[in-house]
Structure 1
Amino acid sequence: MRYSTKTQILSGSAIVAAGLLFSGAAMAQNVSIAFSASELGATAYNPVAASTLNTATSLIYDRLVEQDADQSYHPHLATSWEETADGMAWTFSLLEGVTFHDDTPFNAAAVQSWIASYAGTENEYLVEAIGSVDVIDDLTVRFNMDRPEPNLLYNLASAFMGIPSPTAFAELGDNFGVTAAVGTGPYELQSFEIGLETVLVRNEDYTWGSDLSENTGPGHIETFTFREIPDQSTAFLELRTGGIDLLLGVPTDFLQILEAEANIQIIQMPGVGISYMPINVTAPPFDNILVRQATGMAIDQEGIVAAIYNGVGAPAHNFLISSLPEANVDPALNVTYNPARARELLEEAGWVMGNDGVRVMGDERLTVRLYTANTTELTRLTQVVQAQLGEIGMEAIITVFDSSTIRDEYRNNTHQLAVRSYDWNNSDILDWFFSGNRLGYPNVSMWQDEEGQRLNDIAMTESSTSAERIANFTAYHEYVLSQHLFVPIYQPTQNIAFNSDAITVPDPVRGSRFRGQSFMDIQIVE
């Protein structure tokens, strides 16, 4: 089998030396990309078991179906599908002639093995409605459902449902996605330096791209180098000076500057997530719901959008992106800025204003820990949040962590408040961040609640139709909002910038995100 990938941790001098190898003619076949801040910190390219993935994943693995920007579903490794009237069985016809990077065949048996591999992982919820998988023939597979799942096609189009080689997955075990990552995608993993760089090389045998790409394969570009650059100012400067060709997440501060650059073009897409502040309900004083409610009312969402983001994007007032119907909750439950009421709530909770502007209760000061990750945009947002909390008498001490370490802090329950973001355009993100089964991370709020879990389970497992699912998730969302577990802040746009002297990118961009299908159409400018 072809397992050519190895994980390397390089010294600074080695990285510089390696970079020199791509000078001159070789550079013309390489496109360098900086990940967006929200994608930093992935520790493995294992879609089955990972809790965090990035854009490069979508080039290593294909999915059965793809989702377009208009939310429609398109065939990929599945050429067609049929659901029974009662929703209790789905039959998929599979694409012929597809092989994994290790030269093993993609077929119905591979799909059967793949679905089974989710058992016991954090991502099992994506397939838990599937009771069994029948291999009808080599290119036909049937999912026998334990219950109807109106969200199945969305799940199958997710980055967490890229299909790995069953052979490599079994042989590599816990090393799958670290020392090698084997899919059917248009690019193969050549090297993965955790926290630094991922290099993908073209799969020369690839001819089965989806109809979201004009080019169905092989890719136009020989090598994609994805870099992790936590300081977004550095990433911005590298784009301007030619160090990178494509920047997947452009801070809004830099949009106007880049728009003035003759060789830089910007693509703006609807956002698929929010920035928010989770509140640890197990950590005093936030075990008091009045303090949590006051904390939410201290944050000026509209002011932040205007001052930090120059009016680009929108204020967030609940946990879901505004395009989802489940975001249409009772307006009284939306979290809005009201500092006067916040001060009243803190007084009710027993916190009185001290002489130095920090509230006290007896000898205890209202001083709290505020965590964030080390990206330019998040740290700046956290500083503004700190100042706004100070306006109601809450002293927040900021600690900045790298993207991987901060998850360990959450799991160890050392946090009280945090500023973070997510990218996901489906209401089941509520299950991910608020289910009592996921305490620490991703349930950063550390919330366990009998009624909340009941509503979660109804929304996740008892929805027979799309309409029922919307109603159930709306009810769950409203209950989560009533418990004041987080503070919504900002709903960004997706801002992508590229050097138009170096590459061309597809216009318009297909899909809800700029990922594998878009990279297939990138070309070098001659």
Structure 2
Amino acid sequence: MTDDTSQTMNRRTALKTTLGATTLAVAGCLSSASDDAEVRIGGPWKANRDPLDGGSQLRRLGITEALVSVDYDANPAPGLAADWERLDEQQWRFELRDDVTFHDGEQFNAAAAVDSLQRTVSSAAFADVPIDTVEATDELTIDVETGQPFSPLPAHLSRNEAVILSPAAVDDDDAVTEPISTGPFVFDTYQAGSELRAVRNDDYYGQTPEIESVRYEIVDDDQTRRMKLENGELEMARILPLEMVDDLESTAGIDTYTPEIPRIRFLTFDTQSEPFDDDRVRRAVNHAIDRDAIVDSVLAGVDEPAVGPFSPDISDWANPDLEGYDHDLEDARSLLDAAGWTVGDDNVRMRDGEELTVEFLTFDARSLPLIAEVIQDQLADIRIDVDVTTMEYSSMVDRVGQDSFDGYLTSWGTLWYPDPDRLSDMFHSTGAALHHGYENDRVDTLLEEARELDDRAERMERYHEVQSLVLEDAPVAFLTTYTNVVATAAELSGYEPHPTESRYGLESIDLDAE
């Protein structure tokens, strides 16, 4: 994720230079927020103005919207497109809403949506989405043609990168000067690395927000987010660690939300370099990890050990027959011995004169450093020496994407867009965003076939087999399910956690008068 250079972008200034005085007058009406009606949200994630460059917070705050939304059952739902249909294997038609205007006052229509989508389709984020053409067939109709049958297209068009921007939002150099979209909140000011503020859109076509403005503050430290909430400096603190739940629930004036969401924590191996190029070593690590102990010692007994990428409590895309790896140190030691990593008289595990020492990378969020330390202790029981390095998330991604590594701990939303095609992002040999280097021709074939099929049962059969194969090959070690912890001031009402974290639902919340 890339930050812009430090600056403050004021919405009214930007509109004056890009859209003219008439639009500025409209913006002035939208920006009449009062401090009493502002909701302040603290979270660890950086914000940006461009949906293609770390702009997910724009979607969460209700500034940007896509053709396809995601409902509270984590299914594709109408958004800016009121409906869609698959005309044939490679042709889709999206019928747009007719009552929408952009934040700059311009009419939302098919031509504007196509301009925005073409930018998305040509981006690196959509490199593996086989869209060939996007065209407006009339004022409110868009036809999309894919290069091959592609059943998860609506789910991909719900992604944060696929939000629709006004033509005025992008300059001649393809840079987003201001995220002008259609949501219930309007971009106001932005300070890179610090905060983003938005104001109510009084002309929103849907539910008009009760609150007048929202301010998202980047607060990296978990304890600081909690203290700012308790001190009245925030109305919402997000992504808090599970060990805080008991204290938060007993704190007067604080409401605590702990929904399980389709997200997992996992350890990714570099399958292209020693020692984890050997699946026996990867499976040994899986057997040596005591997931129950991680849940009890780090996660307050709230989460569950993960067996695969999907929790069966959340999604029927989960393979119900997966049994996972039991905690078995003898099996772990036998696998390492078979791989040539043996323990000598000095009680050190070695092969060809080289000690079995590895480095696991992670970043400081979602309790990952604490989990890494527990795994470090657990692998010592089978004489694997683990160094743990905690770094910035973006630095970790850069590191594992450019150089060989041993392993890294991370956390992913497995239904980040509402379709199990997300498994392609995880495990396809050429399409995966994970940097494991894993290759399995059967997995590739199953993922490619499932993308083409309409029939849910046939797709499910293939995705279930993928989960079985991946569990056996172990390019990753699935660790735990994920419970989101969000705490709010008690006077904030109407908040409902969204299962995919794609939006905060701020249009539905209110601040009760004291």
TM norm structure 1: 0.83
Distance 1:510 1:228, change over 3 A: closer
Match status 1:430 vs 2:427: no
Question: 2:205 aligned to 203, 208, 211, which one?
Answer: 208
1:16 is matched with none
Distance 1:228 1:286, change over 3 A: same
Q: Is the 8 A contact 1:324 1:427 kept in 2?
A: no
1:295 is matched with 285
Q: Hey, what's the Cα distance between the residues in 2 that align with 1:165 and 1:83?
A: 26
Question: 1:77 aligned to 80, 83, 91, which one?
Answer: 80
Q: Hey, what's the Cα distance between the residues in 2 that align with 1:479 and 1:384?
A: 27
1:46 is matched with 50
Match status 1:190 vs 2:188: yes
- 1:417 positional shift: 1.1
Spell out, residue by residue over 1:114-169, the C-alpha distance to the aligned partner (whole angstroms, 9 max, x if none): 332233433326752x4434423212233345544432332333333221223423
- 1:9 positional shift: 5.4
Q: Hey, what's the Cα distance between the residues in 2 that align with 1:398 and 1:298?
A: 17
Q: Hey, what's the Cα distance between the residues in 2 that align with 1:283 and 1:9?
A: 42
Alignment partner of 2:124: what SS? coil
- 1:45 positional shift: 4.1
1:375 is matched with 365
Q: Is the 8 A contact 2:266 2:410 kept in 1?
A: yes
Q: Residue type matched to 1:107 in 2?
A: N
Q: Hey, what's the Cα distance between the residues in 1 that align with 2:504 and 2:389?
A: 38
Alignment partner of 1:271: what SS? strand
1:152 is matched with 153
Q: Residue type matched to 2:424 in 1?
A: D
Structure 2 unmatched runs, 5+: 9-32
Alignment of 1:81-160 (within 5 A): 81-84=84-87, 86-124=88-126, 127-128=129-130, 130-160=131-161
- 1:438 positional shift: 5.0
Question: 1:518 aligned to 499, 502, 505, which one?
Answer: 505
Alignment partner of 2:62: what SS? helix
Q: Hey, what's the Cα distance between the residues in 2 that align with 1:435 and 1:45?
A: 30
Alignment partner of 1:369: what SS? strand
Alignment partner of 1:320: what SS? coil
Alignment of 1:349-388 (within 5 A): 349-354=339-344, 357-375=347-365, 377-388=367-378
Alignment partner of 1:487: what SS? strand
Spell out, residue by residue over 1:385-428, the C-alpha distance to the aligned partner (whole angstroms, 9 max, x if none): 11111111111111111122111111122421111101132422
Alignment of 1:211-230 (within 5 A): 216-217=207-208, 219-230=209-220
Question: 1:66 aligned to 66, 69, 80, which one?
Answer: 69
Match status 1:456 vs 2:447: yes
Match status 1:417 vs 2:428: no
Distance 1:354 1:225, change over 3 A: farther
Alignment partner of 1:243: what SS? coil
Q: Residue type matched to 1:96 in 2?
A: D
Q: Residue type matched to 2:166 in 1?
A: S
Alignment partner of 1:224: what SS? strand
Distance 1:55 1:420, change over 3 A: farther
Q: Is the 8 A contact 1:369 1:398 kept in 2?
A: yes
Q: Is the 8 A contact 2:152 2:421 kept in 1?
A: no
Match status 1:492 vs 2:504: no
Q: Is the 8 A contact 1:33 1:224 kept in 2?
A: yes
Structure 1 unmatched runs, 5+: 1-5, 11-24, 210-215
2:30 is matched with none
Which region of structure 1 is more displaced relative to structure 2, 405-414 or 467-476?
467-476
Match status 1:29 vs 2:37: yes
Alignment partner of 2:56: what SS? coil
Alignment partner of 1:157: what SS? coil
- 1:51 positional shift: 6.8
Q: Residue type matched to 1:135 in 2?
A: A
Match status 1:281 vs 2:268: no
Q: Residue type matched to 1:285 in 2?
A: P
Alignment partner of 1:34: what SS? strand
1:14 is matched with none
2:246 is matched with 256
- 1:291 positional shift: 0.7
Count of equivalent residues: 482
Distance 1:97 1:289, change over 3 A: same
2:494 is matched with 505
- 1:496 positional shift: 1.6
Q: Hey, what's the Cα distance between the residues in 2 that align with 1:372 and 1:9?
A: 29
Q: Residue type matched to 2:428 in 1?
A: S
Distance 1:450 1:76, change over 3 A: closer
Alignment partner of 2:267: what SS? strand
Identity of aligned residues (%): 26
Alignment partner of 1:497: what SS? strand
1:238 is matched with 228
Q: Is the 8 A contact 2:361 2:389 kept in 1?
A: yes
Spell out, residue by residue over 1:230-277, the C-alpha distance to the aligned partner (whole angstroms, 9 max, x if none): 321222222222222101223110111011012011123231210000
Distance 1:83 1:102, change over 3 A: same
- 1:472 positional shift: 2.3
TM norm structure 2: 0.85
- 1:26 positional shift: 5.5
Match status 1:181 vs 2:189: no
Q: Residue type matched to 2:319 in 1?
A: N
Q: Hey, what's the Cα distance between the residues in 2 that align with 1:282 and 1:193?
A: 41
Q: Residue type matched to 1:185 in 2?
A: G
Match status 1:162 vs 2:163: yes
Q: Hey, what's the Cα distance between the residues in 2 that align with 1:105 and 1:370?
A: 51
Alignment partner of 1:331: what SS? coil
Q: Hey, what's the Cα distance between the residues in 2 that align with 1:514 and 1:436?
A: 27
